[in-house]
Each structure stands twice: as C-alpha cells, then as structure tokens.
Amino acid sequence: MSSNSDAKSFPRPTAGYTQPFWRTQSDPLDNHQTTPDLPGETDILIIGGGYVGASAAYRLLAENPQNPTPRVVLVEARELCSGATGRNGGHLRPDIYYATALFAKRYGIEAAAEIVRFELSHLKIIEDLVRKENIDCDLTFTRSYDMYLDENQLQKVKTFYDSLVDQELDFMDDVKRHMSETPREASVSQQAISGLTNSSPISFVLPFPTA
C-alpha cells in the first residue's frame, strides 16, 4: 500500500534507482492500495513491502487468534518487493557454520545453535507456504558449496568448522568438508583449494519476466 496524499510528511526514495531483473515485468500488486487515503489509525503499522513486511502481514492476518482481526497497514515507498527483496539470487541458505562460530564466541554456543535452528526452521515454513498458496515457482532442495581460494581464509573457516564439530551440534552432521592437495583435485571448482557443502538450501526459480 502506498499513498501520495501526504507526501510531504514522508521522505521519498532516491530518483533514478535501477530496475532489478525480477521486477522488469509489472504486476497488479505493484502499487495496490486498499483505501483512497492512509487510515488515521491502525493496530499495527508495517513499514516496507518486501519479504519481511509481507511475511509479517501474512502471519498476523492468517495466524492471529484475536477476534476481531487486528487492523494492519503496510506502507511501501516504491513498488512492492522493489528493494532488496527484488534483487536476490533466488536462494534461501542458512549460515550454518561461519556466522555460527562468531555468534558462539560472542553469545555462547547455546545461543548460536538456537539462531541456526531458527534459520533452518524457515526452510520448511517456506516450503509449506509455496505449496499452500500455490506460488508459481520451481521449488528445489539442493546442496550448497562454499569454495575458498585464500589459505588464510581457509584456516579461519577450518577452525570455525572444527570448533562446531567438537560441540557435537546435530546440524553439523550434514556439513561436509572437502580438502585437496592441489587446486585441480578440488570438487566442483578447479580453482578452489577446499570447500564445505551442506544440503539445507532451497532454490527458487521464478518464471522469467518478459519485456
């Protein structure tokens, strides 16, 4: 939802922004507005019509047990999903080991593991949503590879990986490390000296827009 009725009260986005690939074809919901003017009051105001804003509105309206349903207003400065949401690679990939080790050092291993499990839970949530709402996309569960070309970076990641394995965290069972003596022996990429893989990611392939 967007409104020009009180444009002077809100900062406008920078003019001349680039058009993301996924937004090259217009959609009826781009500038959808349910009321001529913004409501004078609401129970919940959501600022931003990307993944986070749309998901918050969906969950509030679909799963809120309150009666009556709370009044929800979502505002977007441009078109829906025209920001970072419309500029992604179409993959949902939890950060299982790299950020986890940093979180463990900062907040403790239990908090770090909770963050990872929270991210992993979204894979099933997204799958259920795609099927329930019959979203037109190719939904594929696949493996993901991280390849390292720099020896110093490799040693840092190896330390992270080993520390998490030593903690016997269940989600690390699916993270596999591939080492090679020479770049040519590395799996997937002949330029890599080592790699880590896990089978958590979801890949979304939406219908390609046409001009």
Domain boundary among 86, 116, 140: 86
Task: Please check whether residues 134 and 61 belong to one and the same domain.
Answer: no
Domain that holds residue 126: 97-206
User: Which CA distances in Å does 201 have to 47, 113, 142?
Assistant: 28, 18, 6
Task: Please check whether residues 138 and 191 belong to one and the same domain.
Answer: yes
pTM for the whole structure? 0.70
**Tokens 């997204």 appear where?**
126
| Nearest-angstrom CA–CA distance, 107 and 116 | 13
Task: Please check whether residues 125 and 187 belong to one and the same domain.
Answer: yes
Distance separating the N- and C-terminal Cα atoms of the chain: 25
Instruction: At 75, give phi and psi (nearest 5°).
Output: -120, 145
Task: Please check whether residues 105 and 166 belong to one and the same domain.
Answer: yes
pLDDT of residue 47: 95
Task: Please check whether residues 122 and 201 belong to one and the same domain.
Answer: yes
Q: Is 170 helix (H, G, I), strand (E, B) or coil?
A: helix
Residue 200 lies in a domain: yes
Task: Please check whether residues 74 and 135 belong to one and the same domain.
Answer: no
pLDDT of residue 20: 80
Dihedral (Cα; 114, 119, 124, 127), 10-degree rounding: 170
Domain boundary among 34, 66, 86: 86
Task: Please check whether residues 186 and 102 belong to one and the same domain.
Answer: yes
176 Cβ neighbours under 8 A, 6+ residues apart: 196, 197, 198
Which residue(s) pair with 147 in the sheet?
195
Q: Is 141 helix (H, G, I), strand (E, B) or coil?
A: strand
Residue 37 lies in a domain: yes
Q: Are 144 and 96 in contact (CB under 8 A)?
A: no
Residue 141 lies in a domain: yes
pLDDT of residue 8: 55
Task: Please check whether residues 29 and 60 belong to one and the same domain.
Answer: yes
Task: Please check whether residues 198 and 178 belong to one and the same domain.
Answer: yes
Task: Please check whether residues 103 and 81 belong to one and the same domain.
Answer: no
Task: Please check whether residues 101 and 201 belong to one and the same domain.
Answer: yes
State how many domains the chain has: 2
Element (H, E) at 99: helix 98-107
pLDDT of residue 39: 92
191 Cβ neighbours under 8 A, 6+ residues apart: 147, 149, 183
Task: Please check whether residues 113 and 202 belong to one and the same domain.
Answer: yes
Instruction: Give the pLDDT of the chain (211 residues) as one tens digit per residue.
Output: 444 444 455 666 777 778 888 788 888 888 889 888 989 999 999 999 998 999 999 999 888 777 788 899 999 988 888 888 888 877 888 888 778 888 988 999 999 999 999 988 988 888 999 999 998 888 888 888 888 878 888 888 888 888 888 988 888 888 888 776 554 444 433 344 455 676 655 554 444 333 3
pLDDT of residue 195: 58
